[in-house]
Each structure stands twice: as structure tokens, then as C-alpha cells.
Amino acid sequence: MRGLIVALDAASLDEARALAERVAPHAAGLKVGLELFVAAGPAAVTTIERATSRPIFLDLKLHDIPETVERAVARACATGAKLLTVHASGGPAMLERAVTRAAREATGLRVIAVTVLTSLDDRDLEAIGVSRGAQDQVVALARMARAAGVDAFVCSPREVRALREAFGGDVLLVTPGVRPASSRESGESDQKRDATPEAAIAAGADAIVVGRPIRDASDPRAAAERIARACLSPRA
């Protein structure tokens, strides 16, 4: 899944499906997150995939004991989703069981580890007892997860270059916290480590996740098209 992933941040399946159908021509994938999954359950994945023929990024950020996460991965595999997020901070045993179960189910689902949420900065990490800065924490978590078998990571655009230096082209890097320059200038965001689509791709991201700048645009399809074109920018 490389290019633009559109986040279907909607309160109902009908609303999400309508958005998905509008943006699908310009999306490499579509993200089903917590709000939509809580509202519609696994049907959110199957309905959107059938309506658009686009791969689904199931963003549930699983973080629990290894047994619980492994069983949840099996259920996620049954939905047909192609990417599933887990928190890297869940630890090696949880990550290894998640990856192993996904491989055993053989549905093509890939486990992708979330490193540090893009809404957090160094001060936030210090408040929860993490002494490393965001970039060092991202790299440390990714190294631990890679040793557990994970080969895909979610990080902010600001850490992409550091992960490319650590792992080269052997991993998939997906970056949320991506907003067009016009959206960044408005200051309307809860993201603290963000960048433009062009900057994220140039740094080495494989895919970018964009939600509100597309969902809230007067013409979501045109907004998706503009951002998808930005994904064609050359990588570093």
C-alpha cells in the first residue's frame, strides 16, 4: 500500500462509504479507524472494500496482553483488511504473536507497529515517564519491533529519515500527521509532529495518511487528487 491513504473519519458507515466512493480513484488505500469501527464493526471493512476495491488499513492500535492481541489479529484477518496497527510499546512478545498469527491466517494482512503518536512531543513523553526524545523513542521502538518480526511502521514525517537510515528499504513506512501547507497554516490540528505531503514523501515515506483536509474539503475528491499528486514527488 503505497501513496495516499485516506482516513475515513466518519460517524456512520453510510457517511464513510459515501466519502470512500468519492476519493477511491485517487487513493492507494482507505483507513478504517476507531470511530468508524466502533460504530459499524467489521462490516466497515468489508463494505468499504467491496464498494471501492481498495485495500483497507484497519487502524485499531491494538495494545493488550499477547494472547488477547493474537486472537484479535485473527479476527481482523477474517475481515479482509490488509494492514492492521498494533502499538510497538506492547512489547516483543505481543508483537511476535501478532505477526505469527497474521502469517498463520494467510489472508495477506500485514501487522504495522505504531511507534509514537503524532499528537505527542518530547514534553508529553517526559510526562508519561519516557526520558528519550520523540525521534530516539521512535527508533528504539522500531528496532525492538523489527527484532520481533514486524516489517512495517507508523511514524510521524519527522522520523521517516531516521528509520530509513536504520532499516533502508526493507520496511514499509506509513506517516500520519500529514497536511497540505494550507491546512498547516490554519493551525487547526492536534498533530504536533507534522509535515506536508511533499516533505513526507521526500523524506522516504511509502504512504501518507490524510483525514480531515480531505473529509472537510468542499470537494473531497479534488482534495484527494491534489494530495495524491504530491505523493509522486521524488523520495530522498
Note the Cα 233 to chain centre separation in Å.
20
Residue 179 is predicted with a pLDDT of: 84
Burial class (CB in 10 A: 0-12, 13-18, 19+), 232: exposed
* Residue 235 covered by a domain: no
Q: What is the pLDDT of residues 17-62, one digit of tens each?
A: 999 999 999 999 999 999 999 999 999 999 999 999 999 999 999 9
Catalytic-residue membership of 31:
no
Phi-psi region at 229: left, alpha or beta (left = phi > 0; alpha = psi -120 to 50): alpha
188 pLDDT higher than 60? no
Domain of residue 122, CATH code: 3.20.20.70
* Residue 110 covered by a domain: yes
Domain count, the chain: 1
Comparing C-alpha atoms, which of 4, 55, 56 is closest to residue 210?
4
Quote the domain boundaries for residue 157.
3-230
Residue 191 is predicted with a pLDDT of: 61
CB count, 10 Å around CB of 82?
A: 19
Strand ranges (E), 78-234: 83-87, 110-114, 152-154, 172-175, 207-210
CB count, 10 Å around CB of 192?
A: 17
Catalytic pick from 31, 61, 82, 192?
Answer: 61
* Residue 9 covered by a domain: yes
Lowest mean pLDDT among 81-85, 174-178, 224-228: 174-178
Q: What is the pLDDT of residues 156-170, one digit of tens each?
A: 999 999 999 999 999
* Residue 189 covered by a domain: yes
Its pTM stands at 0.92
